[in-house]
Amino acid sequence: MTRICIRTAFGVAVFLLALAATGSAQAIDAVSWDQARATELAVEIDKAVKDLARTARTEQLEVQNTKNAEAYIMVEDLKSLSRYSKRLARHLGEGAGQTDTARLFQRMLVIVRSLRDQRASSPLLANSSAEIDKAREALEELAQFYGETLPPPVAAPGTRE
């Protein structure tokens, strides 16, 4: 429980630092808002992340990584990202706009950055590059609507990217 609280506090701190560092400059770089396309992308992200979460959980069990904290956190982060992407898709589908959904999208980016860091040291999803690329493409396009950019991708240990 303490580990989760510390991890959450760290995530919030990283988010606030990233927000302060990127503040108003990113709003200028945002592309014109397209409600239909943003909704479509959020649905794509939701499906892709659900598939990745399911694959990661299966891999975690197959390689008996259940006691590996990094693998567990990665699976839990994918589940969280799935919940947030589903919520984003629902809100956008109900007509919520860019301003109404920006905080939700920013929270997703915090999780994405955490997953990126975990991927550099975790063997989970090492054979899922195509699925990760699909999710990343949709996320990159959606990020443009919010004036955000994603960190560069990293490969899982033992793979090349």
Integer Cα distance of 61 and 95 in angstroms: 39
pLDDT in tens, 117-134: 888 888 788 888 888 999
Rounded to two decimals, what is the model's pTM?
A: 0.75
Q: Is the CB of residue 149 less than 8 Å from the CB of residue 105? A: no
What secondary structure letter does DSSP report for 156? Answer: P
Range of lowest pLDDT (11-25, 64-78, 122-136): 11-25
Band (pLDDT 50/70/90 cuts) for residue 30 is low
pLDDT in tens, 40-58: 999 999 999 999 999 988 8
pLDDT in tens, 93-114: 999 999 999 999 999 999 999 9
Q: Is the CB of residue 93 less than 8 Å from the CB of residue 87? A: no
Higher-confidence position of 22 and 123: 123
User: What is the number of other CB atoms lying within 10 angstroms of the CB of residue 118?
Assistant: 20
> What pLDDT, on the 0 to 100 scale, is given for residue 18?
43
Integer Cα distance of 34 and 147 in angstroms: 13
Band (pLDDT 50/70/90 cuts) for residue 17 is very low
Residue 125's φ and ψ, nearest 5 degrees, are: 65, 20
